Structure 1
Amino acid sequence: MDNAMFCWQCEQTAGGKGCTKIGVCSKDPDVAKMQDVLIYLLKGIGFYATKNIEKGNKIPREIGEFFTECVFATLTNVNFDGQRFVKYIKEANKVKKQLKESAGQIENVPKDADFIAPETRGEILNIASRPNLGVMDDENLDMDIRSLREFLIYGIKGMGAYHHHAYVLGKYDEEVANFMFKAMGATLDRSLTVENYFDLNMECGKTNLKCMALLDAGNTGTFGDPEPTQMLITKKKGPFIVVSGHDLRDLGDLLEQSKDKGVNIYTHGEMLPCNAYPGLKKYPHLIGNFGGAWQDQQKEFDGIPGAILMTSNCLMKPRDSYKDRIFTSSIVGWPGVQHIETVNGKKDFSPVINKALELGGFPEDEPEKRIPMGFGRNALLSNAGAIVDAVKAGKIRHFFLIGGCDGARPGRNYYTEFAEKTPKDTIILTLACGKYRFNKLDLGTVAGFPRILDCGQCNDAYTAIQVALALAEAFDCDVNDLPLSFIISWYEQKAVAVLQTMLYLGLQDIYLGPSLPAFVTPNILQVLVDKFNIKPISTPDEDLKVILG
């Protein structure tokens, strides 16, 4: 059996070209192949779902949720468990047959829309070696079309992550699900042009804006609006659980189940913003944040005397020193790691809590240190008048949105140096795990505001967008005329979805790094440069000189 794989969906793909032996993320060829099979099935599901919609047939919510979960499961650093993908593939076969039957007679069915996968691991891996599965499914396909097709698929994956987090909080959206069906099904149509795919990518950005608004409503509707908070970043004595990922629902349930148990709860990675939500920080045992960004977890989790819960993407291969104390939930999976299943809509986190109590935790307190965070949409917009007045008075010269995904590849120190070199009369808005490059720096204040304003998770790009639109209205100008620059770091597919949204909104002069996506061809990059003036990052000094004149 051919063991080759091909994956180029993340920023750290091998050699900046593609992983062909094993993923830089530790994804093995077998899991990569099963993900290819699942995505291929989802294309056919998307096609038949769209045909049903065109005939007036409503797609059941459970199919939309299943489709969303499947695309999320193939996102970088989410699920490495081959047996879970076998289950997804079996269920996808059933769903496709159901949709095909309900669609009735259809003309001009694309090649392989009717593809049904085998249902044993060995047979799945054999069929996955077919040349018409995966990214390089047709060596004769125009590379620019392939580039935009994969751009679209990765955007769907990123949006799928946001949609999943929204619907577990009760915010499922049929329009979002229907677009994912339509877009994934369209990738089977070999007649689509570069222009067709460009339009679909822009539509993906438009739909993702709605999806991020949906998730914002789910988070704030359930847990309240984030509020400025001085967050603890040092250790406290006693048993503890570190919660990483993105899922606020899981954290909320864990906090409720662990109250009065004598266990401290720390956020980690992208969970840091949870410390600002009133409905979460009301629990006194949510005491602060542990460690830094996701890519530091193997070092930070090494032998710690506490339990770890991974709630969504950002899982790295667990070291033996903590494999017995790390747990996964929801979409996340790793072979041999205990998974907290959902039973009748609920999860029992007692194994995580008991492991924390068994391990005993930190032996003593560290000297206390706190940093400001929690500058969500409501907090920033409530101060819009003061911000506008400070700009008009010349107290604030410029805003920088410095954020996005963090990663381990060299070159990301650019973002630390950029933040350090921003003038003292400027403000940095930040979000996602890219904040860890500089969020513990003391850059002081300007016009009564901390110079670093942490807006939240990657999906809280919605916050930054809403703030930018509000400022543009206040100044009676276009967003692109504001004293605001976007300095974006990307890593995986949620960043692709956010970029599509920024492009859909017509935002110009985005600085993108640390390297450009391997799946973007020179021709497509030139289109993005011509239409949106996207700029690869250079050096902090050179870029600041251009931005500030």
Structure 2
Amino acid sequence: MFCYQCEETAKGEACTKGGVCGKSNEVADLQDQLIYILKGLAAVNQKARDTVPENPGLKTRLINALKRNQQAKEGEPEDYIDSGFMEEALFSTVTNVNFSATDFKNWIQDAYDKREQLKSELQAHGVGLNDLPQAASVKPAELGDIDSVSILATENEDIRSLRELLVYGLKGMAAYAYHARVLGHKDKDIAAFVDRALVATLDDSLSVDDLTGLVLECGSFGVKTMAMLDEANTATYGHPEPTEINIGTGNNPGILISGHDLKDMDQLLKQTEGTGVDVYTHGEMLPANAYPEFKKYEHLVGNYGGSWWQQKTEFEKFNGPVLMTTNCLVPPGDSYSNRVFTTAMVGFKGLKHIEEKEDGTKDFSEIIEMAKQSRPPEQLENGAIPAGFAHNAALSVADKIVDAVKAGQISRFIVMAGCDGRQHDREYYTEFAKQLPQDAVILTAGCAKYRYNKLDLGDIGGIPRILDAGQCNDSYSLVVIAQKLAEAFELDDINDLPVSYNIAWYEQKAVLVLLALLSLGVKNIVLGPRLPAFVSPNVLNVLVENFNISKNTTVENDLERLL
């Protein structure tokens, strides 16, 4: 085992004897094997993309083959490549998504089957495959014996660093693309880039400069992917509205839904309506309370608890069943594991999994029946917290914000987006928020907000001093807000705005958000609580020289330089 893809990696270097996240050596190795065979699938996908436009007969053959295997639906003839599978498989390897060796063995076999089917169809039409990399021919049983599967097989530290940085950005992109796809939004250019970038990590002829360019291009496609997801969410559920979200509890039994998937949230609310069961959000699902389509459900009571790492305490006290829709699962305790359900890519040995049916729906009746027999949740706190300040809501008061800046009422916006984590040094972000001057406003998205979103920081002329744009993928809203402010102040450079960036990271979706900001030319980002272990000293120097990116230090020092 060698894994260093998240912020909590052991000793800040790598997990080599079981993951800090809880995954086993076996699962870590299977994830590496899956990534490798996906690179081979990506190479075959590229071959199909290059060949099919020039060969209408081959296109028809591929489409028919895919439809026979239910990989493409009627009315989607462009899907002769199963990009949805690539997104799901990459998403499964994000930190705290899936801990099941069986699931990864199945994904590896599925990737192999899809790759071989596509190769067979290409060969049947006379397409040569001799130029494909080893990853495009390896069999599942051989993966454990191939040195190149290992991260450390790339001996040059800088090349390895850039390859892994690119792969982790692609994992984040796949997660956001998946959420958009389940709502009917997809983009062929994004899917093609994912394949091209995966294949590039196998190409020993690419230099540090070549890979650096691909990493920044990944950031550009990250912006495009987050914009697509924003469109998917808002077109389906409306634009989030400024909302005071209840954090207390009611007297009815409840279901707790955690993760990120709004479609799962939608189906659960519909199926629980009129049952006497309340629904509570948890973790990154908190922003769902601000969507108009969800606010109409009276049994959506509010948010229960805080960040993902507090699950062992909060799930225990909730008393009712819990539905994990995406990443952020902590290996559950024995006392409540029988109440935790998973769906989509999430998996853990012994937990009940809710599968999607052929029509795209899910049956949550077992969870609902369990909830009816459960005690109401134990109250952890009371009151309300503000949310729903995505770009549409924020820009509706843009004139007010601009006037407040010009009048000197607002001196600075501090972007404090990203992830939360369980380590003690994360208290830095709470203290940073507390010590900000009264004329500074926090722009946030992601679960990092749980370090300060329950502080009473007040407002500035009716503008809350914490503007919560939503989930980590809603960091796109912060980009839109910054760009619109730059237009309002007639600035050509986004870095001339009174905006500073103090970003917390944990996993691969946050890596993509960082790359997205860099691709937009944002400089002077402070990152913490630790710099990524997968960034080599030379790669870090490139980031410092070009973007002046730096690690956070102390609250006092960082306040001085960011203000």
Q: When the two structures are superposed, what TM-score results if normalisation uses the length of structure 1?
A: 0.95
State the Cα deviation string for residues 475-516 of structure 1 (Å, max 9, x = none): 011210000001100000001111111111010000000000
How much identity, in percent, do the aligned residues show? 49
Aligned amino acid, residue 70 of structure 1: A
Which of residues 321, 343, 349 is equivalent to 1:307? 321
Picking from 293, 304, 309, the partner of 1:279 is 293
Aligned partner letter, 2:12: G
Query: Counterpart of 1:263?
Result: 277
List per-residue Cα deviations over 1:374-419 (Å, max 9, x = no partner).
1111000111111111111111111001120001122111111110
Q: How much does 1:172 deviate?
A: 1.6
**Structure-1 residue corresponding to 2:49:** 53
Match of 1:146 in 2: 160
Give distance in 2, aligned partners of 1:185 and 1:100: 16
Task: Give 1:113 shift.
Answer: 2.9
**Residue 88 (structure 1) aligns with:** 107
Q: 1:247 aligns with which of 240, 261, 276?
A: 261
2:374 to 359, 381, 388: 359
For residue 12 of structure 2, the aligned residue among 11, 16, 22 is 16
Equivalent position to 1:293, from 302, 307, 319: 307
DSSP-derived class of the 1:403 partner: coil
Structure 1's 366 and 481: CA in aligned 2 closer, same or farther, altered over 3 A? closer
Shift of 1:87: 1.4
Aligned length: 534
Quick check: 1:150–1:519 contact (8 Å CA) kept in 2? yes
| 1:200 maps to which of 211, 214, 218 | 214
Tell me how far 1:91 sits from its aligned partner: 1.0
Counterpart for residue 531 of structure 1: 546
Which of 86, 92, 97 is the aligned partner of 2:116?
A: 97
What is the one-letter code of the residue matched to 2:308?
Answer: W
Pairwise CA distance, 1:100? 2.4
Contact kept in structure 1, 2:40 and 2:134, CA below 8 Å: no
Checking the alignment, whether the CA contact within 8 Å between 1:239 and 1:357 is kept in structure 2 is yes
Q: Please tell me whether the aligned partners of residues 249 and 301 of structure 2 are also in contact (alpha carbons under 8 angstroms).
A: no
Give the aligned partner of residue 29 of structure 2. 33
CA-based RMSD: 1.5
- How big is the shift at 1:129? 5.1
Structure 1 residue 448: deviation in Å? 1.6
Report the alpha carbon displacement of residue 81 of structure 1 after superposing the two structures with TM.
1.2
Q: Which sits farther off after the overlay, 403-412 or 211-220?
A: 403-412
- For 1:324 and 1:109, the matched residues in 2 are separated by 46
User: Could you tell which deviates more after superposition, 334-343 or 85-94?
Assistant: 85-94
Match of 2:132 in 1: 109
Q: Which amino acid letter does the alignment assign opposite residue 137 of structure 1? A: A
What does 1:340-489 correspond to in 2, within 5 Å?
340-344=354-358, 345-362=360-377, 368-477=382-491, 478-489=493-504
Give the distance between the partners of 1:112 and 1:73, measured in 2 at CA: 19
In 2, distance between residues paired with 1:403 and 1:366? 25
Structure 1 residues 442-471: Cα deviation after superposition (integer angstroms, max 9, x where no partner): 011112211111110000110000000000
Is 2:247–2:381's contact at 8 Å kept on the other side of the alignment?
A: no
CA distances 1:203-252 after superposition (whole Å, capped 9, x unpaired)? 11111111101110111011000000111011111100111000000000
* TM-score, L = length of structure 2: 0.93
Aligned to 1:121: none
Structure 2 gap segments, 5+ residues each:
54-58, 60-77
Would the aligned equivalents of 1:241 and 1:264 in 2 still touch at CA under 8 Å?
yes
Which of residues 97, 106, 125 is equivalent to 1:78? 97
Q: Who is 1:128 aligned against?
A: 144
Query: How many Å apart are 1:108 and its aligned residue?
Result: 3.4
> Would you say the 8 A contact 1:303–1:322 is kept in 2?
no
In structure 2, give the amino acid aligned to 1:73.
S
Whether contact under 8 Å (2:6, 2:95) holds in the other structure is yes
Gaps of 5+ in 1: 119-123
Q: Deviations over 1:242-284 (max 9, x none)?
A: 1100000000000000000011111000000000000011111
Secondary structure of 1:288's counterpart equals: strand
| DSSP-derived class of the 1:347 partner | coil
- Superposed displacement of residue 366, structure 1: 8.0
Secondary structure of the corresponding residue to residue 372 of structure 1: strand
CA shift, 1:545, in A, is: 1.0
SS at match of 1:128: helix
Q: Which residue of structure 2 lines up, in the alignment, with residue 65 of structure 1?
A: 84
Alignment check: 8 A CA contact 2:45 2:81 kept: no
1:507 paired residue number: 522
